[in-house]
A = this chain, B = another copy of it.
Amino acid sequence: MRDVAAQAKVSLKTVSRVVNGESGVSPRLAKRVLAASERLSYRHNLTASSLRRSDGRSRTIGVVIEDVANPFASTLHRAIEDVAVERRVLVLAGSSDEDEQRERELVSAFASRRVDGLIIQSSSHDHRYLMAERKAGVALVFVDRPASGLDADCVVTDNAAGIRRAVRHLVEHGHGRIGYLGDLHLIATAAERHQGYVEELAEQKIRFDPALVRLDLRGIEKAEAAASELLRSSRPPTALIAGQNLITIGAFRALRHLNLNRRVALVGFDDFVLADMLEPGITVIAQDPAAMGRMAAGVLFQRIDGDHSPAQRHTVRTRLITRGSGEIGP
């Protein structure tokens, strides 16, 4: 910047004014400055700028998601990015891999870079560690899973209602032995979904049978193994509910390998590409990760802009999409 000022024969401050598009610079000088910065291929240093600026904004936000390569999470990420782009804000993204320690490291790394806000799909169960960041002025929004021990905005799916809908759907098709395959029970959403299953069974006056439930399944392989085992048991379920998209895929693999894909019903939580192209198509309770991401980003930027109203919980609805697998009778 100093070099540009020298070339244009103006003061540093004038260059700063031009770079920031402030008013009060004569067109003649502005032109000279622009020409000089072009010649010297000057690039504004935003880190120095945000260090000095009174509002201290870095025009950067941090996103902590389970895995940037996971379809649900990356759709969230993309939706957040789309909102951020409009505000000329950049997104730092990191994968927590459902590891509490890793989540904290990411938050800490983001905080060191003075992000203006954080959107977190959290793996932790106690978010008090974020109070310091909050106090330091970092806006905070939880997505997919609510905060605990901390009063913060969150954007979540109505997990229990979604799974209850799945149970009802299967009951309407005559099922009484409905198996359940769930993700790590430590994950809040996984627990809510399992809870929905239990509650709706009660509502439907169906006896809860723990032998039909497998929890803590992480990834396609584990889900496939658990589903296989369940289906090969002496009294197998006539229908399965999968509590997460990779689990749905694993369950379908198991059904296929046992040649049961047209015999045993399957309803998955969370939609996925090609679900309609399998045989039969997979009936799912679809979430709307893009809507969640957009909403989370919207709320975050409102907070960054100084909205101090009480924290809110925003719930995004699920939608039942019937494609065949959920309409198989017992």
Interface residues of A (CB under 8 A from B): 41, 43-48, 50-51, 58, 60, 67-69, 71, 74-75, 77-78, 81, 88, 90-95, 108-114, 132-133, 135-136, 249, 252-253, 256, 272-274, 277-279
Contact = CB atoms under 8 A, between A and B. Distances in A.
Given A43-B132, A47-B113, 4 more contacts: A69-B74, A90-B94, A91-B94, A272-B274
A93 B60 CA distance: 11
Closest 10 CB pairs of A and B: A69-B78, A41-B132, A46-B112, A47-B47, A69-B74, A74-B74, A274-B274, A69-B75, A68-B77, A68-B78
Contact of A109 (B74, B77, B90, B92): B90
A93 B112 contact: no
A11 to B, nearest CB: 21
A183 to B, nearest CB: 17
Nearest to A131: B41
Nearest to A50: B47
Given A110-B90, A277-B278, A58 B67 contact: no
Nearest to A89: B109
Contact of A47 (B44, B51, B92): B51
Nearest to A245: B273
Contact of A92 (B67, B69, B90, B253): B90
A123 to B, nearest CB: 16
Given A47-B50, A47-B58, A274-B274, A93 B91 contact: yes
